[in-house]
Amino acid sequence: MKDEYWFQSREKMVKNQIINRGIVTKGVIDAFLKIPRHRFVDKESEAFAYEDYPLAIGHGQTISQPYIVALMSDALGISKTDRVLEIGTGSGYQAAILAELAKEVYTIERIPELHFEAKRILQELGYDNIHYRVGNGYLGWKEYAPFDKIIVTACANEMPEKLFEQMHLEGRMVIPLGDMYIQKLMLIVKDQQGNPRKQHLCYCRFVSMIDD
């Protein structure tokens, strides 16, 4: 009975928050219908897991609003052959969406407690195409570069050059850029000459990316 309740909650979330806002890519929709978002929040927040806002996950971090997760995933245009780098594992929910869409996901989290909890949940859910690391996201994961797609789930003041260097030509990065007052969610494409081509997707609010 509870499983049916959660599935109905996901259906409502997908229809009202995602499809009604213009995201209709089948792979993205299927991933959001499949993944139990309530598994990625604590028990006290379970009842709010499918609502239209971010939730705290501890350590000053949040699980993003479902629409923003969908928008970022959709903008990347991920294919089943792609290798994706995620900066900021957080709750692990975005990594699960990526794992449904891509061939391999490489995710980095600087806070060990979040890293271990996300890894535990993702492994319990059966994801075997995700690679995990504790570290500084600004540095990327050079050993496995170049990546087809990069997603950054924290706000940087400017595009991290090391991450851009670790993208394939025609690779895509989605990243929030700005400061504590104004943040823009940006799609950055690496053109055939190796230069960034930028597109503003929307205004947003993310926690700050820390370079340490």
Over residues 153-195, the pLDDT tens digits come to 999 999 999 999 999 999 999 999 999 889 999 999 999 999 9
Does a structural domain hold residue 36?
no
| CATH value at residue 120 | 3.40.50.150
Is residue 1 very low, low, confident or very high in pLDDT (cuts 50, 70, 90)?
Answer: low
19 lies in some domain: no
In a domain, 156, yes or no: yes
Q: Give the type of residue at 200.
A: H
113-128 pLDDT tens trace: 999 999 999 999 999 9
Does residue 46 lie in a domain region? no
CA angle 176, 193, 160 (to 5 degrees): 25
Catalytic residue numbers?
64
Our count of domains for the chain comes to 1
Is 31's pLDDT higher than 80? yes
In a domain, 21, yes or no: no
pTM metric for this prediction: 0.96
Structural domain contains residue 142: yes
**Does 98 map to a domain?**
yes
What whole-number percentage of the chain has pLDDT above 90?
A: 93
Query: Is the residue at 212 inside a domain?
Result: no
Domain membership of residue 142 as a residue range: 54-203
